[in-house]
Amino acid sequence: MSDESLSYETIELSSTDQGVTTILLDRPDERNAMNVAMGREIQQAVESINADPHCRVVIIRGSGRAFSAGGDLKSLAHEAGLAGDGSGLGGGSSFYRLFLSITTLRVPSIAAINGHAIGAGLCFALGADLRVMHQKAKVGMTFVKLGIHPGMAATWTLPRLVGPAVAAELLYTGRLVTADEALAMRLVNRTAGEDFDEVVASLAAGVAGSGPVAVRAVKETLAGTWERSIDEAMELESTTQAMTFNTDDAREGVKAIMEKRPPRFEGR
């Protein structure tokens, strides 16, 4: 992926020839705490990735020991009126929308929770399509521990993943959750220990190796699934499936099965 026109200070963007792009949160000394500058760079990265026809899957992870410690404490202090310069997290929802721009990625995304994901850091991870969590990591919706209401769509994403009762417990108590607990409550898709990088790479390769046109279409369909009836879903699936049948990818997929070889999808 060519991204020479953009310069990043709080994140790093890299890609492979296999269509895997990685967004690395790169404030390790601050445990990748989230500030406005990082949010703006995330938004820029999303726009760049969406313009890249070669990208098939995005991995989001943190540098150093943490995924993200959540909102930058200095910014939180400003937001709470503990500093006098009027700065803060960028106006609440506007700050959160910068980070949740990852939900507008045209390709699937994987949050590689390599270390603790706290508060807004966990909300950011929930904005991805899939999650892999390191066995040593912990996650938590710790907003109420700071005396503030949860943000970044926490009350929307969390109940949809773990159910309303479990979500209520996590949001009311702000307690930290281990990797095993997170997996059991379906907060994450997979957990891993020393093989964490390999597990993330394998999951990404599985997505990247599928038909790109079909995968992007599935992502669009899934995005609106909560608002549709089963009849509406079947109608949309029928229309979209017919569209994918007419792609070169579909012809290559069938040919590869008949020739007993891996498909070579080109995304058209």
Judgement on whether residues 169 and 223 belong to the same structural domain of the protein = no
Judgement on whether residues 143 and 238 belong to the same structural domain of the protein = no
Tokens of 116: 């603790």
Judgement on whether residues 182 and 231 belong to the same structural domain of the protein = no
Residue identified by tokens 């909102």 is: 71
Q: Which residues contact 30 (CB under 8 A, 6 or more apart)?
A: 69, 72
Whether 60 is covered by a domain: the verdict is: yes
Alpha-carbon gap, residue 143 to 126, rounded angstroms = 15
Residue range 227-255: mean pLDDT, rounded: 89
Which H or E element spans position 45?
helix 36-50
Judgement on whether residues 98 and 222 belong to the same structural domain of the protein = no
CATH number of domain containing 239 = 1.10.12
pTM: 0.90
Residue range 211-236: mean pLDDT, rounded: 92
- Is the predicted pLDDT of residue 119 greater than 90, yes or no? yes
Judgement on whether residues 232 and 113 belong to the same structural domain of the protein = no
Whether 243 is covered by a domain: the verdict is: yes
Confidence of residue 85 (pLDDT cuts 50, 70, 90): very low
Q: Do 169 and 149 meet the contact criterion of CB atoms below 8 Å apart?
A: no
Judgement on whether residues 20 and 138 belong to the same structural domain of the protein = yes
**Helix spans in 163-229 (H):** 164-173, 179-184, 196-208, 212-223
CATH number of domain containing 169 = 3.90.226.10
Judgement on whether residues 176 and 235 belong to the same structural domain of the protein = no
The number of CA neighbours under 13 Å toward the Cβ of 63 is 16
Alpha-carbon gap, residue 92 to 98, rounded angstroms = 10
Whether 196 is covered by a domain: the verdict is: yes
- Is the predicted pLDDT of residue 157 greater than 60, yes or no? yes
Judgement on whether residues 53 and 138 belong to the same structural domain of the protein = yes
Alpha-carbon gap, residue 215 to 250, rounded angstroms = 12
pLDDT at 32: 96
Whether 147 is covered by a domain: the verdict is: yes
- β-pairing, 138-140 vs 117-118, is parallel
Tokens of 32: 């990748």
pLDDT tens for each residue of 51-83: 999 999 999 999 999 999 998 877 655 554 544
pLDDT tens for each residue of 18-64: 999 999 999 999 999 999 999 999 999 999 999 999 999 999 999 99
| CA–CA distances in Å: residue 95 to residues 34, 58, 220 | 10, 22, 25
Residue range 151-179: mean pLDDT, rounded: 96
Q: Do 79 and 138 meet the contact criterion of CB atoms below 8 Å apart?
A: no
Tokens of 219: 């992502």
Count of domains in the chain? 2
Judgement on whether residues 231 and 253 belong to the same structural domain of the protein = yes
Show the domain range for 219: 212-258
Strands (DSSP E) along 87-129, which ranges? 109-113, 117-118
Whether 6 is covered by a domain: the verdict is: no
Judgement on whether residues 56 and 166 belong to the same structural domain of the protein = yes
pLDDT at 77: 59
